[in-house]
Amino acid sequence: MEVLEKSWSWSFFSNSTLPQSLRYLTDLSITTECVENHNGSFNCECLPGHGWNASTCYHHKPCRDSNFFHSYTCIIFHHPDIGYCQLLPPVPGNLSLHSALPSPGSTLTLTVLLSHEATHLGWYLQPVGSQTSVKLQPGTQVFLGDQKSQSVLTIANVSRDWAGQYVCRFMSRGFQWLLHQVVEVPLQANDVIRHPSQLSISCNAFSGFELRCCIPNTNRTYTASWSPRNLSSTTALSSRTSGTQCLTLVVPRCPENDTKYTCKLQSPGLDPVSISISVSIIRDGDTTCPQDSLGGDWNVTKAGHIAQIPCPLNTVGTVERHCGTKGTWGPINSSCTDERLVTMFHTAQLLLAGQGQPRKKVPKLMTQLRKHVAAVSSPSDLLALLGTVNILAQVVTRARTELPRETLKDFLVATNDLLELDPNSIWAPAQAQVPSVSSAILQAVESLGRSLCSNDHPFSLTLSNVQLQTQLLGPKTPEDYSISFSTHPPLRVQIPHHALAQLDWETGNISITSMVLRKLGHILPRNFGQELEDLLYETPDLVLSNSIKDGNQTVTKGEIIMDFGGTRGTPTCVFWNHNLFQGAGAWSKEGCEARVIDTSSTTRCVCLHLTSFSILMSLHSVPDNPALTLMTQVGLGASILALLLCLGVYRVVWSAVIRNKISYFRHVALLNVVLCLLTADTFFLGESLLSLSPHSPLCLAVTFLCHFFYLATFFWMLAQALILAHQLLFIFHHLSKHRVLPIMFILGYLCPLGFAGATLGLYLPQGQYLQKDQCWLDGKGGARYTFVGPVIIIVGVNGLVLAMAVVKLLRPSLSEGPQTEKRQALLGVIKALLILMPIFGLTWMLGLATLMDGGNEVPHYLFTVLNTSQVREALHKRLCCILPAASTVSLFWRDPLLEWAPGSRFTLFLPFQRDEISNFNLGFNLFKN
User: Do 150 and 253 share a structural domain?
Assistant: no
| Domain assignment of residue 385, yes or no | yes
**pLDDT value of residue 23:** 58
Task: Answer whether 657's CB lies under 8 Å from 903's CB.
Answer: yes
**pLDDT value of residue 684:** 80
- Angstrom distance (rounded) from CA 171 to CA 179: 12
User: Do 211 and 68 share a structural domain?
Assistant: no
Residue 783: which pLDDT band, with cuts at 50, 70 and 90?
confident
Q: Could you give phi then psi for residue 733, rounded to 5 degrees?
A: -95, 125
Q: Could you give phi then psi for residue 107, rounded to 5 degrees?
A: -105, 130
User: Do 142 and 282 share a structural domain?
Assistant: no
Model confidence at 373: pLDDT above 50: yes
| Domain assignment of residue 14, yes or no | no
Within 8 A by CB and 6+ apart from 819, the residues are none
Q: Which of 68-82, 124-138, 392-406, 536-550 has the lowest mean pLDDT?
A: 68-82
Task: Answer whether 90's CB lies under 8 Å from 174's CB.
Answer: no
DSSP state of 736: P
For residue 336, the SS3 value is coil
Q: Do the bridges between strand 175-183 and strand 164-172 make them parallel or antiparallel, or are there none, so unpaired?
A: antiparallel
Model confidence at 6: pLDDT above 60: no
Count other C-beta atoms under 10 Å from residue 55's C-beta: 10
Which of 349-353, 435-439, 860-864 has maximum average pLDDT? 349-353
Burial of 861 (0-12, 13-18, 19+ CB in 10 A): middle
Residue 879: which pLDDT band, with cuts at 50, 70 and 90?
very low
Q: Phi-psi bin for 30: left (phi > 0), alpha (psi -120 to 50), beta?
A: beta
DSSP-derived secondary structure for 14-37: HH----TT--S-------EEEEE-
Q: Domain ends where: 87, 105, 126?
A: 87
pLDDT digits (tens, 9 = 90+) for 840-854: 555 555 554 444 444
The residue ranges of DSSP E strands in 430-541, in sequence order, are: 459-462, 466-473, 481-485, 491-495, 510-518, 537-538
User: Do 540 and 429 share a structural domain?
Assistant: yes
Q: What is the CATH number of the domain that holds 513?
A: 2.60.220.50
User: Do 685 and 649 share a structural domain?
Assistant: yes
Structural domain of residue 221, as residue ranges?
189-338
- Give the bridge partners for 112, in sequence order: 95, 151
User: Do 211 and 147 share a structural domain?
Assistant: no
**pLDDT value of residue 22:** 55
| Domain assignment of residue 10, yes or no | no
User: Do 638 and 599 share a structural domain?
Assistant: no
| Domain assignment of residue 723, yes or no | yes
Closest listed residue to residue 175, CA positions, set 90, 112, 48, 69: 90
| Average pLDDT over every residue of 22-33 | 73
Count other C-beta atoms under 10 Å from residue 500's C-beta: 21
- Angstrom distance (rounded) from CA 438 to CA 171: 48
**pLDDT value of residue 523:** 92
pLDDT digits (tens, 9 = 90+) for 288-306: 999 999 888 898 999 999 9
Model confidence at 922: pLDDT above 50: no
User: Do 205 and 152 share a structural domain?
Assistant: no
Q: Phi-psi bin for 860: left (phi > 0), alpha (psi -120 to 50), beta?
A: alpha
User: Do 397 and 303 share a structural domain?
Assistant: no
Q: What is the CATH number of the domain that holds 863?
A: 1.20.1070.10
Residue 4: which pLDDT band, with cuts at 50, 70 and 90?
very low
Model confidence at 90: pLDDT above 80: yes
DSSP-derived secondary structure for 160-221: GGG-EEEEEEEEETTEEEEEEEEE-----GGG-EEE-SEEEEEGGG---EEEEEEEE--SS-
Which of 236-245, 525-534, 740-749, 776-785 has maximum average pLDDT? 740-749
Q: Which of 9-18, 78-87, 152-161, 444-453 has the lowest mean pLDDT?
A: 9-18
Cis peptide before 489 (omega within 30 of 0): yes
SS (H, E, C) 609-651: ECCEEEEEEECCCCCCCHHHHHHHHHHHHHHHHHHHHHHHHHH
Within 8 A by CB and 6+ apart from 639, the residues are 677, 681, 868, 870, 871, 872, 908, 909
Length of the chain (residues) = 929
Q: What is the CATH number of the domain that holds 117?
A: 2.60.40.10
Model confidence at 388: pLDDT above 80: yes
- Give the bridge partners for 459, in sequence order: 470
Percentages helix, strand, coil for the chain (3-state, rounded to 5) are 35, 25, 35
- Angstrom distance (rounded) from CA 911 to CA 892: 40
**pLDDT value of residue 240:** 64
Task: Answer whether 581's CB lies under 8 Å from 524's CB.
Answer: no
The angle at the Cα of 373, spanning 370 to 376, to the nearest 5 degrees, equals 165
pLDDT digits (tens, 9 = 90+) for 712-764: 988 988 888 888 787 777 766 777 778 888 899 999 999 999 999 999 998 88
Task: Answer whether 208's CB lies under 8 Å from 231's CB.
Answer: no
Using only the alpha carbons of the chain, give its radius of gyration.
43
| Average pLDDT over every residue of 435-462 | 92
Better-scored residue on pLDDT, 628 or 281? 281
Q: Do the bridges between strand 50-51 and strand 86-87 make them parallel or antiparallel, or are there none, so unpaired?
A: antiparallel
User: What Cα–Cα distance (Å) separates residue 114 from each residue in 93, 149, 173, 175, 819?
Assistant: 4, 5, 12, 14, 120
How is the beta sheet containing 244-251 ordered, strand by strand? 193-195, 209-216, 244-251, 238-239
User: Do 578 and 682 share a structural domain?
Assistant: no
User: Do 611 and 634 share a structural domain?
Assistant: no
**pLDDT value of residue 799:** 81
pLDDT digits (tens, 9 = 90+) for 477-535: 667 889 999 888 889 999 988 888 888 776 677 889 999 999 998 899 988 888 776 56
Q: Domain ends where: 87, 121, 136?
A: 87
Q: What angle, rounded to 10 degrees, do the helices at 339-353 and 379-399 form?
A: 20
- Give the bridge partners for 821, in sequence order: none
Amino acid identity of residue 486, one-letter, is S
Closest listed residue to residue 99, CA positions, set 20, 185, 31, 39: 185
| Domain assignment of residue 468, yes or no | yes
Q: Domain ends where: 594, 618, 642?
A: 618
pTM to 2 decimals? 0.70
End-to-end CA distance of the chain: 104
Task: Answer whether 688's CB lies under 8 Å from 633's CB.
Answer: yes
pLDDT digits (tens, 9 = 90+) for 539-585: 788 999 999 988 778 888 888 999 988 776 678 899 999 998 888 99
Amino acid identity of residue 727, one-letter, is Q
For residue 322, the SS3 value is strand
Closest listed residue to residue 908, CA positions, set 687, 640, 711: 640
| Domain assignment of residue 5, yes or no | no
The per-residue pLDDT of the chain, averaged, comes to 79
For residue 338, the SS3 value is strand
Model confidence at 28: pLDDT above 90: no
**pLDDT value of residue 833:** 47
Half-sphere exposure of 587 (CA within 13 A, CB side): 25
Better-scored residue on pLDDT, 544 or 690? 544
- Angstrom distance (rounded) from CA 887 to CA 835: 14
How far is C-alpha 73 from the geometric centre of its chain's CA atoms?
Answer: 56
| Domain assignment of residue 140, yes or no | yes
- Angstrom distance (rounded) from CA 225 to CA 703: 76
Model confidence at 821: pLDDT above 80: no
User: What Cα–Cα distance (Å) separates residue 740 from each residue in 403, 724, 734?
Assistant: 84, 13, 11
pLDDT digits (tens, 9 = 90+) for 329-369: 999 999 999 999 999 999 999 999 999 999 999 999 999 99
Q: Do the bridges between strand 273-282 and strand 198-202 make them parallel or antiparallel, or are there none, so unpaired?
A: parallel
Domain count, the chain: 5
| Domain assignment of residue 479, yes or no | yes
Model confidence at 642: pLDDT above 90: no
User: Do 590 and 709 share a structural domain?
Assistant: no
